[in-house]
Amino acid sequence: MKELSQAILNSKKSKIRKLFDMLLKSGSDAISFGIGQPDFTSPDYMNDAIIKALREHKTQYAPARGIPQLREIIAYKFKNENNMSWVKPENTIVTNGGSQALQLAYAVLTNPGDEMILSSPAFLSYYHLADYYGIKCVEVPAKNNYSPDIEGIKNAITPKTKFILINSPSNPTGYAFSKEEMDAIVALVLEHDLYLVSDEVYEKFYFDGMTHISPASYEGMKDRTITLNALSKTFGATGLRLGYIAASEEIIINMEKYIQYTTAGVNHPVQYGAIEGLKHVDRMNIPEIIEEYDRKRQFCVRRLKEMKFIVDMPKGAFYIMPKLNPEWGMDGDEFSNALVQEQKVACVPGSGFGSYSNDSLRISYATSDEKLEEGFNRIEKFLRNRNFL
């Protein structure tokens, strides 16, 4: 038999999903801090709009870019929530989740041999998409508190660099850019004639009064930025697979072509749900959700510090990425494997997010207080069993 795609053969199954599979086998008392989804599901007011569309048999092809009413709401959202005053419906496109939005960015921006830069650790797809599109992903290790190393990013730019990819707040670290950091990234993009891909799916989840900054709201950035977002995290709708993009019209036109020939658009009825969702995002009571996540965040930091992990307070999203105490002499892969086997607690090893983070674990704390408490107790037991505490 002839050989299959090398790029795909070489790519690994996600460590998150693998962990999830292991956990499934380990019985009902397993605790997952693994999967990156909120602990709530999509609200009835959104689901009802999908149901209405189904009852009205809106089940034939939608336009490849998404239905016009949805694209209008998306444009309105970017203008009003993200200060991107330039966005018109022509600057938007609807995608099969944030994942396809990302794929479209890689597909449309790059030619084989190009380079991209990101601050590592970062979301797993960022790396694999680089392989799939035949481009080089240049990882610049983040600083100790997971803030981006701006100087390092600057030094990584070559004539082949096509774009910088940012994700603030970040999966897996929970770090969020300061205004100064965003200013510096934007300045690099402008100075070196680059594009900027800004993955903003966690934009609603900030702590301590920090607010979201969209780089596409900066002067001179409207034609250089691809802004990605999705219903998934804001609305607890990871399984509805609806994402969206703002970018220059030229980029959108080319994304539309790619969508036509690769997925032929997004589930039609769900687009009616997205309209209602985005129109009435206030009904989600985000401040309440954040208050709860904040409590969980504080709890995690306290418990992790008690157990001698090395950890900073995350600024956003619902992840925390503690570093293992070097005295333990274990790396993230070993720790994660042993922990799931001995204590049935799943945390993703940091190696799942890049080349410089196998000294850490990612914990998704969007779960019940009971599970958090029990999970951390088991981690403590795990450490005590080894006389690490």
Considering only residues 213 to 232 of the shown chain, the ones binding its own copies according to CB under 8 A are 223-224
Q: Is 64 in the site for its own copies (CB under 8 A)?
A: yes
Q: How many other CB atoms sit within 10 Å of the CB of residue 65?
A: 23
For its own copies, how many residues bind (rule: CB under 8 A)? 79
Least distance to its own copies, CB of residue 85, Å:
21
Nearer to its own copies, 236 or 322 (CB): 236
Query: Using CB under 8 A as the criterion, what x/- string covers residues 359-388 for binding its own copies?
Result: ------------------------------
Q: Is 196 in the site for its own copies (CB under 8 A)?
A: no
Q: Do 360 and 320 touch, CB atoms closer than 8 A?
A: no
Q: How many other CB atoms sit within 10 Å of the CB of residue 133?
A: 19
Q: Is 240 in the site for its own copies (CB under 8 A)?
A: yes
Query: Using CB under 8 A as the criterion, what x/- string covers residues 67-106 for binding its own copies?
Result: -----------------------------xxxxx--x---
Least distance to its own copies, CB of residue 165, Å:
14
Q: Do 366 and 319 touch, CB atoms closer than 8 A?
A: no
Among 85, 262, 285, 355, binds its own copies (CB under 8 A): 262
Least distance to its own copies, CB of residue 140, Å:
20
Longest CA–CA span in the chain (Å) reads: 63
The set of residues, in sequence order, having a beta carbon less than 8 Å from that of 70 and lying 6+ positions away, is 94, 271, 272, 274, 275, 278
Nearer to its own copies, 146 or 195 (CB): 195
Q: Do 313 and 297 touch, CB atoms closer than 8 A?
A: yes
The torsion angles phi and psi of 363, rounded to 5 degrees, stand at: -115, 125
- Which pair of tokens denotes residue 166? 């940012």
The set of residues, in sequence order, having a beta carbon less than 8 Å from that of 21 and lying 6+ positions away, is none
Q: Is 54 in the site for its own copies (CB under 8 A)?
A: yes
Nearer to its own copies, 126 or 177 (CB): 126
Helix ranges, 124-264 (H): 124-132, 150-156, 179-191, 231-234, 249-262
Sheet holding 195-199, edge to edge: 92-95, 243-246, 225-230, 195-199, 161-166, 115-120, 136-141
The set of residues, in sequence order, having a beta carbon less than 8 Å from that of 357 and lying 6+ positions away, is 120, 121, 321, 332, 350, 351
How close are the terminal C-alpha atoms of the chain, in Å? 54
Least distance to its own copies, CB of residue 50, Å:
6
- Which pair of tokens denotes residue 43? 């609200």
Half-sphere exposure of 132 (CA within 13 A, CB side): 15
Report which residue type is found at 83: N
- For residues 338 and 346, give the distance between their C-alpha atoms in angstroms, rounded to a whole number: 10
Least distance to its own copies, CB of residue 38, Å:
9
Q: Is 285 in the site for its own copies (CB under 8 A)?
A: no
Query: Using CB under 8 A as the criterion, what x/- string covers residues 115-144 for binding its own copies?
Result: ---------xx--xx--x-x----------
Dihedral in degrees, nearest 10, Cα atoms 290, 40, 171, 15: 150
Nearer to its own copies, 235 or 382 (CB): 235
Q: Is 337 in the site for its own copies (CB under 8 A)?
A: no
Least distance to its own copies, CB of residue 185, Å:
17
Nearer to its own copies, 261 or 327 (CB): 261
Instruction: Let me know if 92 is exposed, middle or buried by CB neighbors in 10 A (0-12, 13-18, 19+).
Output: buried
Among 85, 155, 260, 298, binds its own copies (CB under 8 A): 260
Least distance to its own copies, CB of residue 292, Å:
18
Least distance to its own copies, CB of residue 350, Å:
18
Nearer to its own copies, 284 or 324 (CB): 284
Least distance to its own copies, CB of residue 57, Å:
4
Among 27, 112, 209, 326, binds its own copies (CB under 8 A): 112
Among 22, 26, 41, 141, binds its own copies (CB under 8 A): 41
Stretch of 26-34, 75-83, 256-264, 313-321 lying at the interface with its own copies (CB under 8 A): 256-264
Q: Is 237 in the site for its own copies (CB under 8 A)?
A: yes
